[in-house]
Amino acid sequence: MPVQPPPAKPQKFYFFYGHRKPTQNRPTVRGGLFSNRHSLKPPKPIPTHHPIDLSKWDPQNPHRFSSTPKPTPSLSFLSPIARFITDAFRRHNSLWDPPLVSDLRKLRRVTPDLVAEVLKVQSDPSLASKFFHWAGNQKGYRHTFASYNAFAYCLNRANRFRSADQVPELMEAQGRPPSEKQFEILIRMHSDANRGLRVYYVYEKMKKFGIRPRVFLYNRVMDALVRTGYLDLALSVYDDFKEAGLVEESVTFMILMKGLCKAGRVEEMLEVLGRMRVELCKPDVFAYTAMARVLVGEGNLDGCLRVWEEMRKDGVDPDVIAYGTVIAGLCKGGRVEKGHELFKEIKEKGLLIDRAVYGALVQAFVEDGKVGLACDVFKDLVDSGYRADLDIYSFLIQGLCNAKRVDKAYKLFRVTVQEGLGPNFETINPILMCYAEMKRMDEFCELLVQMHKLRIFVTNDLVKFFSFVVRKVEGVKMAMEVFEDLKVRGYYSVAIYNILMEALYKTGMAKKALSLLSQMKDMNVQPDSSTYSVAIECLVEDGDVKEACVCHNKIVEMSCVPSVSAYCSLARGLCNIGEIDAAMMLVRDCLASVDSGPMEFKYALTVLHECKSSKAEKVIEVLDEMMQQGCPPNDVVYSAVISGMCKHGTIEEARKVFSNVRGRKLLSEARTIIYDEILIEHMKKKTADLVVSGSCFRHFTIVSEKLQALTMSIQKLMHVGVAIENGAISTNVKSNDIFN
């Protein structure tokens, strides 16, 4: 009879009621249920809704405006004593003061592991340094590698990496020399932050401490130096690597070869490649692809093809990624024929070709003017089961429009609509351009209607269209012809007018640009600040400076700021008609309203300031500085000389400045005579203003004297009235005697 196992005893649950005895390292625990089976989850806190205070709303930080306060980050993963220390830091507002030290002294002892635990969550480097120093002053205490490493990490998190680099010296001074691990931490910190020179600095310090890095650490140092562009330093580290008798790994060779490829030193890269073949192994397809990608990124297609030939010599079969990398680089660099040859190789091998390869070939053929080959690649793409993306369709449409085959381009546009690709401006613009050049405006407008049905913002796209057209040769004329036709059909806006006005002004047709401004008023189109800014430039060129000032005032009434070019043009126009004071006010207004004002305005104010010394030499020094900065003096600066010298100096000092500029052949003789006349007229105006001010002052003095006499008479009359009331004056007093 088989022996039956004894019945299983029911599991006992161990419970503990009451509270534990409080100790220094354990907080008091009162009541509760503790079991080795169940863990009691704390009850969910009931959310409390606080009233909303609109005064605390911050539009830059919308999370701040909330009905519930933002929860503080949880530090529950820390030990109880570590939480006590961090809570003490928080209660004392991260200030190292005697009350904080008093709270820390309540602890019997702080261990190195506890110091490391606190420093891992500390973000204030100053407080962390003082706590680290305080812990080190404990009796019988010595920091461990863990606490030193945590201190270095803390300093690096606070961007005090220079202080973190001094941790090895601190370790040596405290009797614990640093090991390779400490330097590896510093190198990793600087490498992740792309601080190549700091990596080399730590490496040199490592050599001073007599520590020999491992191959892994050598690779890390060289990789950081190569990535940050310090190839020569990386090669010097490699020389140290060879002197130390270490053997290269495949990673070592790859770091060097990628760095040499990035620097364009292909011959040296091939030498390293030969050593790798002899001493270690042949590179695989991933290594060759990495080198090809670096060379393609640097635009070194010859080097890329040499790497491709070396890969074939080694018998390495390229994969799809390698083919795609090289083909894309060749197409981008204008060698689409070679890229097409590699594309045929992929087809022969039966590899699955990425759609990006098709897109690169289509784009390259279109840019090269070979639309037929681009269409063949597109047909191959569709036959392979791919669905072309919008970029491929856009390139094909552009190529067909360049070949004046706009009807086929329009059919492709219809295909993009049917496939729901959502055509954009880049897709439609070539068709619009082709219709405009062929003057097929009915079809142009039909396309605009279809764009509107597709919920495309036609007005915005027309603005982009006219911006594109006016940049072409003879584009302004075509843009005006298209606009005249579209204007009748209701396609116009302020932005389009601004583009056309600016284009006309730049081509020397200021009057025609001003006619567009009057046309806007006739069509009830409200001009904006950009419109008036262009109008200011046109009016100044046309010689109507007063009307340009009216446009400036309209911009100010709109609470807007004119463009910098409008400011410059209006200031020069005012200077040319002798309105020096108005021009200087405009200069100050521009520099106060615009973030980066023109250099000539800044130097004009400097000239005004130097004129207070009434010395021509000071002003000439400013003009010398202008020419050194590549900013020759112009009308505004010369007007500043006239304004400053008429206000603070003399005509002779101003003439010294102009004669000096004339001697350098920066000012013609005719302009010098004109400026001399403006100088005399402005000085007369200033003198007349002073005379008027003096006469006004004398008139004011006479009036003041009469008022003072009248006041004294009134006071005398008041005294007489008081005397009559007191019976002190007889009735024989005549009225005329009162005013004597």
Interval 531-571: pLDDT, tens: 999 999 999 999 899 999 999 999 999 999 999 999 999 99
Task: Dump the DSSP string for 6-64.
Answer: PPPPPPPPP---SBPPPBTTB---BS----SS--PPPPPPPP-PPPP-GGG--TT-GGG
Tell me the two tokens of residue 284: 């695989």
Residues 6+ apart with CB under 8 A from 380: 347, 358
For residue 409, give the nearest of 376, 438, 373, 434 by alpha carbon.
Answer: 434
pLDDT of 672 reads 86
Q: Which residues of the chain have pLDDT under 70?
A: 1-75, 689-740
Which residues have a Cβ under 8 Å from the Cβ of 469 and sit 6 or more positions away?
Answer: 433, 436, 475, 478, 479, 482
Q: What is the pLDDT of residue 712?
A: 59
CA separation for the pair 511, 647 (Å, rounded): 38
Do the beta carbons of residue 178 and residue 171 sit within 8 Å?
yes
Q: What does the alpha-carbon distance between residue 640 and residue 377 come to, in Å, rounded to a whole number? A: 66
Query: Residue 290's closest CA among 122, 316, 313, 275?
Result: 316
Q: Note the pTM of the prediction, 2 decimals.
A: 0.69
Distance from C-alpha of 509 to C-alpha of 372, rounded to nearest angstrom? 42
3-state secondary structure of 575: helix
pLDDT at 257: 93
Rounded to whole angstroms, the Cα distance separating 613 from 634 reads 22
Structure tokens at 12: 């006992």
DSSP 525-573: PPP-HHHHHHHHHHHHHHT-HHHHHHHHHHHHHTT----HHHHHHHHHH
Q: Where are the alpha helices (DSSP H) in 454-493?
A: 458-469, 475-488
Phi/psi for 23 (5° steps) reads: -125, 180
Give me the amino acid identity at 229. G
Collect all residues with Cβ–Cβ distance below 8 Å to 34 and sequence separation of at least 6.
Answer: 14, 15, 16
pLDDT for the residue numbered 645: 86
Nearest to 505 by CA among 535, 483, 464, 462: 535
Residue 730 is predicted with a pLDDT of 37
Question: Which residue, chain included where needed, has tokens 């990608």?
Answer: 293
| Cα four-point dihedral sign 354, 355, 357, 358 | positive
Residue 62 identity (one-letter amino acid): P
pLDDT at 208: 92
pLDDT in tens, 666-705: 888 888 888 888 888 888 887 776 555 554 444 444 445 5
Say how far apart CA 104 and CA 135 lie, in whole Å.
Answer: 10
Q: Are 88 and 103 in contact (CB under 8 A)?
A: yes
Give the pair of three-digit tokens for residue 513. 């640009």
Residue keyed to tokens 């072309």:
388
Output the CA–CA distances (angstroms, integers) from residue 512 to 245, 495, 515, 631, in the order listed: 80, 17, 5, 32
Which pLDDT value is given to residue 576? 87
